[in-house]
Homo-oligomer: A and B are copies of this chain.
Amino acid sequence: MDGATRSSTVRTEVRSLLDGWVEAVTAQDLDRIMACYVDDVRAFDAIAQLQFTGRDAYREHWKICFTMCESMAFEIHDLDITAADDVAFAHYLARCGGIGPDGKEHLGWMRATVGCRKVAGRWLVTHEHYSAPFDPESGKALFDLTP
Contact = CB atoms under 8 A, between A and B. Distances in A.
Contacts of A46: 131, 133-134
A28 interface: no
B50 A109 contact: yes
A107 to B, nearest CB: 14
A135 B50 CA distance: 11
A131 B84 CA distance: 26
Nearest to A128: B113
Interface residues of A, number: 49
Contacts of A89: 87, 89, 113, 115, 127
A126 B88 CA distance: 13
A98 B67 CA distance: 37
A22 interface: no
B141 A111 contact: no
Contacts of A141: 134, 139-141
10 contacts: A2-B119, A44-B111, A48-B135, A48-B142, A50-B146, A82-B117, A84-B87, A89-B113, A89-B115, A131-B133
